[in-house]
Amino acid sequence: MLLAVLLALLLSSTADAGAFAIGPPSLEVTVPSDGEADVSVYITSDFDGELLVDTEGVPFDVEPKVIEIEDSYVQQHVDLTFVGKPSASAGTYDGKVTFLGYMGGNVAGGVKLELTATVTGTGGVASIDETGGWLEENYLIVVLGGLAVVALVFGILIGRRGRPRPQPALARKRRREYPQSKSRTTR
C-alpha cells in the first residue's frame, strides 16, 4: 500500500512538470543575407506558458522570440521567420534553433532542433555607396576641420619663433660665473 502511494506521488509530480514537443526534428532554410525566410513548426504541450526561441551557430536571427503555448495535444502551427543580416557571408551553416519552455516563471524544459541554413547574396562586404554617403553629407565639416588644424599648427610654430628659447638652469649659472669677453685675443 505504501509503495502504491509513493508511486502515485511520483507520477503526479512529473506530470505537473510540463512537457512540450516540437516537430519536425530538423529544419532546412535558405535565407538571403538582406532578406528573410519562413519555416513552419508544430508544437504540442501539456502546460500553458511561453517558449523562448533563439538560434545557435547561424548568422541570422529568428522571430518571434516568444511564443505563447496552450495545454493541448493538438498541434499548434507556428511560423518562424529567419531574418538575414547584411554582414553575413554567403555559405551553408549548421546550427540549432532552441526552444526554452517557461511555466509560472520556471523553466519547464528545452528542445533544440537541428538547422541547416544556406545564406545567399553578397553579404559581408560593404559597398562604396554605403561607406561614401557619410563623407558626402559631411564634406564641409571635414574641410573646415582640416583648415582649423592647419591654422592651429601654423599659429603655434609662428608664436614660438619670436620667443627666445629657454635655457637650462646650469647653462645660465655658468654664464654668470664665467662671462665671455667681447674682445678676442689672438696668439
CA distance 134 to 129: 9
Q: What is the pLDDT of residue 179?
A: 62
Q: Mention every residue, 6+ apart, whose C-beta is less than 8 A from residue 79.
A: 38, 39, 40
User: For the chain (length 187 residues), average pLDDT per consecutive 10?
Assistant: 40 54 88 87 86 88 89 87 84 90 81 89 50 68 89 81 64 66 54
Q: What is the pLDDT of residue 79?
A: 92
Inter-residue contact 29 to 37 (CB < 8 Å)? yes
Three-state DSSP state, 183: coil
Q: What is the pLDDT of residue 125?
A: 44
Q: What is the pLDDT of residue 129?
A: 46
| Residue type, position 159, single letter | G
Element (H, E) at 50: strand 49-56
